Each structure stands twice: as C-alpha cells, then as structure tokens.
Structure 1
Amino acid sequence: MFHDRLGCSSISFRHLSLGDALAAMVGLGFEEIDLGALPGVCDHVPFELTDADIEGVASRVTDSGLRVRSVNGDIGDLNAVLDGDGVAVREAHLERLLTLTERVGAKALVLPCGALSPDPVRSLDQDLDLVAEQLAVAAERAAGVGVGLWTESLHFYRLCGTLDRALALASRLEGTKVRHVVDLSHVVASGSQPEEAIAALAGRIAHVHLRDAVPGNINLSIGNGSVDFAGALAALRDADFDGHFSLELEAHDLTHEERPAAAAKAGSFISDLI
C-alpha cells in the first residue's frame, strides 16, 4: 500500500498504549516503524528500562509483525556536565537502550543534539564539543552490538535548533560513526529550507522524518504547513540518499480520532513522491 521505504513513527500514535499504537499502524498498512522512546513525548518504552521491560516491548513488536527502522531515544542532556554518578546512570541507560535496539531488530538508536534549550550550559563551542564527544562514544558502543547511532542534528527546541548550529555539530562528528536524521519540520520551523540542509549533509544522512511545519511551529499535519515535500525529496534523490523515511505525525492540528485517516493520506502522498 505504501512505499517500502516509508514507515510510521509510533510517536504518531503516542496517545495510545504501545500495543494499540502497533495495531493502528498495522491496520493502516504500514510494515515499518520507528519506535518512540522519548520520556515526556512518547512513553511506549518505559524510561526506567528494566530487562523485563525490554523483553515486553520486544515481544509486542515481534508479535505485531512490524519491522523497526530505529529506536528514537534519549539518555539525558548531552551538553550537561555530569559527576561520576551521573555518568554511570547515563551509561547504564545507553546500554539498556542499545539492548532494546538490538532486541527489536532496529538499524539504529537515535539520540538528540543536546538539551531542550537553546542556551548553552557553558559556551556554545564547549557544549557542541561535549555533545559531539558523547555521540561519538555512544556510536562506538552501538557498533559493538551491531547497530548504528544516529542523531537528529537539527531539532528546533534543542541546543542545535538552527541549521548553523546543526552543521557546527555535524562538522565535529566528521570521521565518527554518527550519522544524521533530517526532520523536515524542524528545518522549516527553524527558518531554513530542506534543500539547504540536505545539500550540507549529503552523504551523511541516514534517515528522514516527515511532518509539516511553518517557521516557529513543527506540529502540523502534512498538507497544513509550508514544507515543500516534493522539492525536499528531489533534493534527497540528487544527494543519492538511499535511506528510509518515517511519518512522525505528532501534529497538534488533529484530534486523536483524525490521526489514522491523516496518517493514511500522508502515507499515500509521500509514497507517490518517493
């Protein structure tokens, strides 16, 4: 029904339990998903992740028959300066998320580009250095269990909330195993254009998130914002992007009852463009 490179993020149905969200995506005809594991955004994966939680989530995903492209997680503010105990807690959380990522058969774990604030903890350069260092270390650990490490390097609400900052982070990540997720809604909300971000990150883009936006607002369903999806997908083809796409329809212009129909409509629209 949908293009085989197009999936749906469970964040699109974050108001449902994990089991019900998986069933909704199966019912719509999706075969691939991103699994949301973002505390306060999508609670399909418990933040305090025990071995039993990992097995429970993995079992529900396996039973659904869906492929998992990535696990979209968070291990805390990567620009935060931690003491020894804080580092140990972060490292333990990373290991649990990597175990989950491997267990559900996902290609990669996705981590953010810093805290949910544009304000540096120290200086911007120091914070970007620290975020890049933490992501690079996480990527090495991910490689050790056979999965990738991706970062959504431009996130409108986080430290790297502009294209300039995202590219400054990307320059620090050159030569590491970290690859990039481009979310078209965050690019447009930040005041930049997808073609500009895609050209700048060409060859390093692993995955693309799809949602509509206008400057200052990322939470629009596809067709209700100003994202030029046709132009963005053309730019991705020009950049030889061969990865996958995911609908991340955490849109505030939909009721919960409208979400399934909006996801189906968006899936058909994007499939035609791919």
Structure 2
Amino acid sequence: MMKLSLASWSLRGCTLKEAAGLSSVLGIGALDLGYFFRPALDKAALVADPQRVADKVLGLGVELPNLYHLFGDNLADRNLADPTHRAANEADFRQVVRFAKQAGVPTVFVLPGVINRGQNRADALAASAESLRHLVDIAGDGGITLTIEPHVHSYIETPTLVLDLLDRVPGLKLTLDYAHFVCLGYRQEEIDVLAPHAAHVHLRQARPGVLQSKLSLGTINMGAMLGTLRAAGYDGYLTLEYVHQDYMDGLHDDVLTETIDLRDLVWEWLS
C-alpha cells in the first residue's frame, strides 16, 4: 500500500530531529533525507564516514525511504551529463550506497544532468546514460535502488526522452514528480506512461508555467494520478514536497498548510 513521507527540505527552519518529530506529529512517520537547509545531512561527513551519519539518522525514530544526493553544489556542478566528473562521482556514490544500506534507506535519487557547454540534448543524454549505468551497478551491489528525477532545466524535459534514457540504462528507476512536466505544459495522460517506472514519488500541486501551486489552484488531478500509480503496481512512498525556496519561484505558499491539505487528500483517497 502506498505510504506518505515528508521531504526534510520542505521544513527548512527545522533541525533534522524537529523535522522527524513533525513527521511523527502529523501522523506520517517517514522523512526523506537531503543536503538542504537546516535539516541537511552533512554531505562531506557522509562521504567520509557513512556509518557515523547512518547511526545519527537511525536515532530519528521515523522511516527513511529516500536520500536525495546531489553530487555538486548546484544543478550544473558535477552533473551526470558531464563526463569529466565521472570517476569522482562514482567514488562518492559508493560511500552514499554504504550509508543508505547501513541506514536502511532503500532508494537514492540523483538528478540526471543538464545540457553542458557544447552539448545538445542527445549528447547530454548519451553522456548521462553512461554515467548512470555505472551508478546503477554500484547501487545494485549494495542492495539499493537508484532513481533519477526528471526536472525542469534538465536535458530530459519530456516523457519521451525519459523513456529513451530508461531504455539505455537497465535497472534505473524514477523519482517521479508530475509537477515538473505539468509546469512545462504536458497533459497528465502524457506523463502517466512514466508511472510503471517509479520507485519513489514526489507530490505537490502545479499548473502550466508554475512548478508549485496551492492545492486549490493547480491542475493535477491527484485522484487520477494516484489511481494511475496504483494500477501500475506502485506501492512505495509518496513524499509531500511543498517547499519555500528560490527555484522556479517557489516562495509563495504556506508550506505547512499545503502539506497538511495534501496529506488529507491522499489519506482520503487511500481510505
């Protein structure tokens, strides 16, 4: 059965312990981990000593369904479509997988990459696919599922390109966020083809041109999306991902209120 989680980066003013506590208070009991804002894990510490950081998060008292790992400091830095960083990324990822295994985190998501200098989409996809094939093997050896999140400003901004990448990288799965495609103008039924490839899901409302919208103002048919996921056999986590951050103008929503409203909508549908 599908279950809810909170994104730690949604709760940017909380400590990691407070974010976990809020997840429990809200009746969710699960928290996605990342390297962002006050609840951040220390990426350098995780890479240097995965066991020590794993011991820290194991004391949070909540399920830990996913880690969002960013190789560099932003979307472009050390991105997977840039082959010059492949060896360093693989070395770091081996430590990430050790952490995930020790902390009981079943899935890790990374970003697919961007179009780098001199590349077109096809070039970026080919370079990223080569990087991801190695990372899938590293993750599999540790019993971890590797996922990518297709996102606005990546080289895979269409469902067709996403399917092309998945065909080239056996074993690769998705952290699926319908909002990124809806923002770009895709109809929901065009996104549904990606549901069978999801190993993790992010939820928030959106509409064309707007990556994050108040629940009452967006165009995603949440019931239809949840039904599509269920029909595809998805029984993993649905992470509530309302944020307050300066990416795609995500600065205008009451994160806690929208999170609770979306939680209630999902609970009602699941019941």
Please indicate the TM-score interval, normalised by the length of the shorter structure: 0.7 to 0.9
Equivalent in 90, 114, 132 of residue 129 of structure 2: 132
Superimposed CA distance per residue, residues 85-120 of structure 1 (whole angstroms, 9 cap, x where no aligned partner): x433222221222122112201111111113xx567
Output one character per residue of 1:171-225: Cα deviation in whole Å (capped at 9) or x when no partner: 323xx11111210211211211333222x23432212110111222213343332
Partners of 1:42 and 1:209 lie apart in 2 by 20
Q: In the alignment, does 2:144 pair up with 1:142?
A: no
TM-superposed deviation, 1:146 = 1.3
Runs of 4+ displaced beyond 6 Å: none
1:1-274 equivalence runs, <5 A:
5-37=3-35, 44-50=40-46, 54-55=50-51, 57-75=53-71, 76-82=78-84, 86-115=85-114, 121-152=118-149, 154-173=150-169, 176-198=170-192, 200-251=193-244, 252=250, 258-274=254-270
Letter in 1 for 2:86: V
The RMSD of aligned alpha carbons is 2.5
Aligned-partner Cα distance in 1 for 2:251–2:141: 41
**What 5-or-longer segments of structure 2 have no aligned partner?**
72-77, 245-249
Q: Secondary structure at the match of 1:246?
A: strand
Could you tell me the TM-score, scaled by structure 2's length? 0.84
98-107 or 12-21: which moved more? 12-21
Asked whether the equivalents of residues 163 and 190 of structure 1 are also in contact (C-alpha less than 8 Å), the reply is: no
User: What one-letter code is carried by the residue in structure 2 that aligns with 1:79?
Assistant: A
Consecutive unaligned residues of structure 1, counting only runs of 5 or more, are: none
CA contact (8 A) 1:183 1:210 kept: yes
Aligned residues: 259
Alpha-carbon distance between aligned partners in 2 of 1:265 and 1:57, rounded to the nearest angstrom = 33
Question: Taking every aligned residue pair, what percent have the same amino acid on both sides?
Answer: 24
TM-score for both structures, normalised by structure 1: 0.83
